[in-house]
Structure 1
Amino acid sequence: MTRAVSTAARWRRFGLSAVSMAVLGVVFLVPFAFVVLAAVKTRQEASLLQLTWPTEWRIAQNFLEVLSARDYLLIIAFTNSVILTVSAVAISVILAALAAFVLQRRPSRWNPLINMLVLSGLIIPPAVVPTIWVLDGIGLFRTMLGLILVEVAFGVSFCILLFRAFLITVPRELDEAAVLDGAGPLRLFFRVILPLLRPVIITVVVVQSVTIYNDFVNPLYFLPGEQNATVQLTLFNFNSQYSNQYNLLFMDILLIMIPPLVMFLFFSRQIVAGMTSGAVKG
């Protein structure tokens, strides 16, 4: 009787797993296959927007045409996106880790106000026109530095919450031992605490890198200009009012998808570990 029940439960779990995998396959793999197949078709076939096998493979031709479009704008855009992503993520990690450490380890009467401001950064939508006015006033509008600061400001609240949740699991005895050994605040943080934050640092780096790399709106508003284009803005090259080059558009999308896809494939476990690390104290 017990064996029959366990067998039925096992088959039930297997059935649920199979259904879940099938749903995930339809939701994720089918669109990805559509993009890949459309990227290697001719312009006429791609314009039909059908999930069919190409009659003529144009992998190298479409790739070279996308790469050389508008004086190799895609290479410039990749360079801009790498500079933007690396700089904004590095600043966000340092600022968020320091802020979370102070909020978690040094409670004060200002903590409720600071916590409200951090949460407001997640709740209140960003205002484009006032932000442009501020950037223009300090001479950072249409500059890479201005866009980096915008990305940091828009994402630092999320990073602080992740770091603070992880710091709950770090024993305070480590702080006390380091202080007794003569470590100052900065040395305590960078020599003792920061190395322990590796799981959540990887999570923040991957999540924020993908978010900033895939950002379309902020570069469009705060860094206008063809030479300032990021990878997402290159999608305009092959989509206009009078002509749609869907084969080149999907080839561009495929090239843009590769870096974040690789990051998620390699760091998926670390992302989950960093997200759930602060769920249970101790």
Structure 2
Amino acid sequence: MRARRVRGVVVGAVAVLVSVVVFLVPFAFILVTAAKTAEEASLLSFSLPSEWALWDNLVAVLTTRDGVVVRAFVNSTILTVASVALMVVVAAMVGYVLQRRSSRWNPVVNFFVLAGLIVPPAVVPTIWVLQTIGLFKTIPGMVLINATFGLSFCVLLFRAFVSTVPRELDEAAIIDGAGPMRLFFTVVLPLLKPVVITVVVVQAVAVFNDFTGPLYFLPGDENATVQLTLYNFQSQVLSQWNLLFMDILLITLPPLVMYIFFNRQIVAGMTSGAVKG
């Protein structure tokens, strides 16, 4: 028994050490590099700065190219909020219908849901579709792209969690005269809070950190997102490492804070449907 306990302590200590090395050491390197002057940062050494320039680098990043970083944060926030809201509503509806109502169309819908997880996105045909409907290089077009790419994952989560909601609640609401929309939004959706939080956090981080999507489908300085601002501080002839790492630090903080505050809700939403369904 004692040997087993010692083994558990050793394994736990090793796991903590590995977590520190994998997660905290890179973050510490970003932080110290973002606080250095341009000359010190160019050495890319893991050491404390001899002269702290954290505030100066922050001001330089926020004022570069008429505040493109601030504009990018606004664009990324709009994209994230709109895309995640659309994913939550649509995926919750689809997952509820797939779980509650059996029909001959369910296998077809399930096929497309799984295909959305397996088939990689096609850039050129997607651009052609956006150009045809007049949404290329627009925020609404990028919102539709983000919602489409993340919909399959969200549908699977909602469908698994809906199975934990008793059918008697649906029947009672229908007896009381609730229509389909009222049934879903007033009875079912509030009960899906754990999985809604999971979807919101996971997909918000994915959309906020997306690089290739805005690069392909949302070009232009006026549509810049936070990930694309990294180009401002690195080129073939000049790399402003202190400003680049300060920009990385600013981009990293919102998802990190969100994950810290909603860590337990993420785990609960990911496991509840699997355990009970």
Which runs of structure 1 show a deviation greater than 4 angstroms over 4 or more consecutive aligned residues?
none
Q: What is the alpha-carbon distance in structure 2 between the residues aligned to residue 280 and residue 210 of structure 1?
A: 25
1:106-117 matches, within 5 Å, as 106-117=101-112
Q: Which residue of 1 aligns with 2:36?
A: 41
Q: Which runs of 5+ in 1 are unaligned?
A: none
Match of 1:74 in 2: 69
Query: Does 2:260 match 1:268?
Result: no
One of 136, 156, 176 as aligned partner of 1:181: 176
Pairs aligned (count): 277
CA drift of 1:181 comes to 1.3
Aligned to 1:8: 3
Instruction: Give the counterpart letter for 2:162 in structure 1.
Output: L
The reply to whether residue 55 of structure 1 matches residue 50 of structure 2 is: yes
Name the residue aligned to 1:255: 250
Output aligned runs, 1:86-105, within 5 Å: 86-105=81-100
Query: Out of 159, 171, 179, which is 2:154 matched to?
Result: 159
Question: Which letter maps to 2:187?
Answer: V
Q: Indicate the percent of aligned positions where both proteins have the same amino acid.
A: 64
Partners in 2 of 1:214 and 1:8 — Cα distance? 44
- 2:59 pairs with 1:64: yes
Counterpart AA for 2:86: I
What is the match of residue 226 of structure 2?
A: 231
Cα distance in 2, alignment partners of residues 19 and 281 from structure 1 = 32
What's the Cα RMSD here?
Answer: 0.7
Q: Which amino acid aligns with 1:204?
A: V
**CA deviation vs aligned residue, 1:9-32 (integer Å, no higher than 9, x gap):** 211111100000000101111100
Counterpart Cα distance in 2 of 1:199 and 1:185: 22
Q: TM-score, normalised by structure 2?
A: 0.99
Q: Match of 2:178, SS?
A: coil
Q: For the residues of structure 2 that align with 1:164 and 1:102, how far apart are their CA atoms?
A: 8
Match of 1:170 in 2: 165
Q: Distance in 1 between matches of 2:34 and 2:146?
A: 31
The equivalent position to 1:24 in structure 2, one of 19, 22, 26, is 19
1:279, distance to aligned residue in structure 2 (A): 1.1
Residue 216, structure 1, aligned to residue 211, structure 2:
yes
Deviation for aligned residue 1:281:
2.3
| 1:210-265 Cα distance to aligned partner (Å, 9 max, x none) | 00000000101111001110000000000001000000000000011110000000
